[in-house]
Amino acid sequence: MNDLLRHIASDNPRVMVVDGSRVARTLIARLLEQELPGATVITCARGAEAQQALHEGVVDLVSTALSLPDMDGSTLARYVREHAAQAYIPIVAVSGDVEERVQNRQLGDEITDYFDKAAGYEALAEFIRGYVAPQDHAEGMVLYVEDSRVVAMATSRVLQRCGLTVHLAGSAEEAVEFLANARDRGAIGADLVLTDVSLKGEMSGGDLLEWIRHDLGLGKGRLPVLVMTGDGNPANQAALLKAGANDLVEKPVEERLLMTKLMFQLRVAQRLHEQRQERSERLMNNPGAP
């Protein structure tokens, strides 16, 4: 498989744990090996060590302390985003002051999720397992854009078997109309958009992606967009990611990989939504809070 499109769809994922504390690294690694018997756990004490390890083999998830001996965890996260071979790596920031950093907007978009280490390392291992070995059931609305009715019906059945609600659009123009109507009602309309790149009509899947990101103003965390493409050119794939695609699925689509990527993006978006709600509730209960 093209490394750019690699995602956690393996029974033997590679998880990197970066922490300056030897005790913490050892404990997290041991717990992860219990939670994920087939996983390879790579432990690093410093950011530079993690950067080197990133170039020695594909990594499926990174867990990093925010305070490292040689750099900030956010700096490492930016490096991972810029240099990783595959399209997207979940990066979990682990810290005792992570809530304060979130409130002060000190965590960048490079961080996928965060974990308060006060909850304990056993909880962290379970948390990571939720990314690496996701459940096979999900809830949410998927706006699926596909102009082949045969393909659309077959893929829709796969999504529905996993508990998802599917709204099918036969063109990018139809998808724009659906999302614009939702916006007029003060809603987003979908939890995730799944679209082919090549579509009948004047708009492509790439045009739809640009419209969502720029005209609607919905970022990756508000409305994830998963793009299916038969173009194996890495430059063209990278351009889609740069334009705002959360991830790519190479055609012909392999069902397990599609569902792993889709459910991962749903989980991240739902987690971010919960965080926004929690912050809003804190502000309502304590208007003077940062």
Let me know: does 138 contact 163? Beta carbons within 8 Å: yes
| 241: nearest Cα among 18, 9, 86 | 86
Can you give the pLDDT at residue 182? 97
Give me the count of residues in the chain: 290
Can you give the pLDDT at residue 18? 97
Q: Which amino acid would we find at residue 11?
A: D
The tens digit of pLDDT for each residue in 151-163 reads 999 999 999 998 9
The tens digit of pLDDT for each residue in 34-66 reads 888 888 999 999 999 999 999 998 888 899 998
Give the phi and the psi of residue 18 in degrees, each rounded to 5.
Answer: -115, 115
The CATH 3.40.50.2300 domain(s) of the chain lie at 3-133, 141-271
Per-residue pLDDT band at 112 (split at 50, 70, 90) = confident
Can you give the pLDDT at residue 9? 47
- What is the rounded average pLDDT of the residues 221-227? 92
Let me know: does 7 contact 247? Beta carbons within 8 Å: yes
Can you give the pLDDT at residue 129? 78
pLDDT over 90 for what percent of the chain? 44
Q: Is the pLDDT of residue 210 over 90?
A: yes
- What is the rounded average pLDDT of the residues 90-100? 75
Out of 91-95, 195-199, 252-256, 273-277, give the one with best mean pLDDT.
195-199
Question: 3-133 is classed in which CATH architecture?
Answer: 3-Layer(aba) Sandwich (3.40)
- What is the rounded average pLDDT of the residues 215-242? 88
Per-residue pLDDT band at 134 (split at 50, 70, 90) = low
Look up the CATH superfamily of 141-271.
Response regulator (3.40.50.2300)
Can you give the pLDDT at residue 5? 43
Can you give the pLDDT at residue 260? 74
Q: Any bridge partners for residue 61, and if so which?
A: 15
Can you give the pLDDT at residue 10? 58
The tens digit of pLDDT for each residue in 252-290 reads 887 877 887 788 788 777 777 777 777 777 777 776 655
